[in-house]
């Protein structure tokens, strides 16, 4: 008997079965990978699109003073006589990043001059609506939400008496600003 004759031979049918099993395994792995990626959170905490910790109650500016800027997550935090607002830092006209103007005490967009109040409401210019807002929450040391944005309008949130309450902003929950006539 020759050496070749001693080797077990694989016929065409067995080869096709093996190829089919290999491709089935490959497809199963791809599906499992897809399910895993889909089940992961899309945004990490602290990134735009996720929940961002702004600071605590005692970090807020006094009511009516200049807002706090958080450029990394395109956010302004405004403290007004009505309460606190989390405002999206993108103009509702054509998407420029607007600024706070300390002399005029309002937001002014450098692109086409739209203007907005400290709470994000439209004043004048080509922007079709007030600034968009995010959902903001004050959370105590037990993780309990003690005050939060009206999800329909984006605010305002009264400042809680707890100076250590954490301020969380969900930049994945944008509330479209009100249109004007
Ligand atoms: S993009 Fe802001 S006014 Fe046009």
Domain ranges of the chain: 3-39, 51-175
The whole-angstrom distance between residue 1's C-alpha and the CA centroid of its chain comes to 73
Across the range 64-80, mean pLDDT stands at: 95
Reported as a pLDDT band with limits 50, 70 and 90, residue 38 is low
Phi, psi of 3 (to 5 degrees): -65, -40
Q: How far is CA 164 from CA 10, 79, 101, in A?
A: 73, 16, 29
Number of helices followed by number of strands (H, E) in the chain: 2, 11
Residues 6+ away with beta carbon under 8 Å from 25: none
* pLDDT at 46 (0 to 100): 58
Instruction: State the residue for tokens 């001693």.
Output: 6
| Higher-pLDDT residue of 23, 131 | 131
User: 126 vs 15, which has greater pLDDT?
Assistant: 126
For a substitution probing ligand 1, which of 112, 122, 123 has the most ligand atoms within 8 Å of its CB?
112
**DSSP H or E run through 88:** strand 84-88
Nearest atom, ligand 1, residue 96 CA: 1
pLDDT of res. 33: 65
Nearest CA to ligand 1 atom 3: 112
39 pLDDT band, cuts 50/70/90, is: low
Q: In terms of C-beta density within 10 A (0-12 exposed, 13-18 middle, 19 or more buried), how is residue 89 classed?
A: buried
How much distance in Å is there from the Cα of 72 to the middle of ligand 1? 20
Percent above pLDDT 90 for the chain = 66
pLDDT at 93 over 90: yes
Work out the pLDDT band at 50, boundaries 50, 70, 90: confident
Give the mean pLDDT of 104-119. 98
Q: How far apart are the first and last CA of the chain?
A: 96
Ligand 1, CB cutoff 6 Å, lining residues:
91, 93-96, 98, 109, 111-114, 125-127
* pLDDT greater than 80 at residue 10: no
Predicted local distance difference test score (pLDDT) of residue 87? 97
What's the chain's average pLDDT?
88
Q: Is residue 168's pLDDT more than 90?
A: yes
Q: Which CATH superfamily is domain 51-175 in?
A: Rieske [2Fe-2S] iron-sulphur domain (2.102.10.10)
């Amino acid at each position: 008997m020759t050496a070749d004759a001693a080797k077990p031979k694989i016929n065409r049918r067995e080869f096709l079965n093996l190829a089919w099993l290999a491709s089935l395994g490959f497809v199963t792995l791809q599906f499992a990978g897809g399910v895993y990626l889909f089940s992961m959170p899309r945004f990490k905490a602290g990134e735009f699109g996720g929940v961002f910790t702004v600071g605590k109650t005692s970090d807020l500016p006094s009511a009516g003073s200049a807002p706090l800027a958080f450029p990394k997550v395109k956010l302004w935090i405004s403290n007004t006589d009505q309460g606190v607002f989390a405002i999206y830092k993108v103009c509702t006209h054509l998407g420029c990043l607007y600024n706070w103007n300390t002399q005029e005490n309002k937001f002014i967009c450098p692109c086409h001059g739209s203007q907005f109040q400290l709470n994000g409401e439209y004043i004048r210019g080509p922007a079709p609506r007030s600034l968009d807002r995010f959902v903001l929450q004050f959370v105590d040391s037990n993780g309990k939400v003690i005050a939060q944005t009206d999800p329909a309008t984006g605010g305002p949130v009264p400042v809680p008496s707890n100076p250590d309450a954490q301020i969380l902003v969900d930049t994945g929950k944008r509330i479209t600003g009100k249109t004007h006539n």
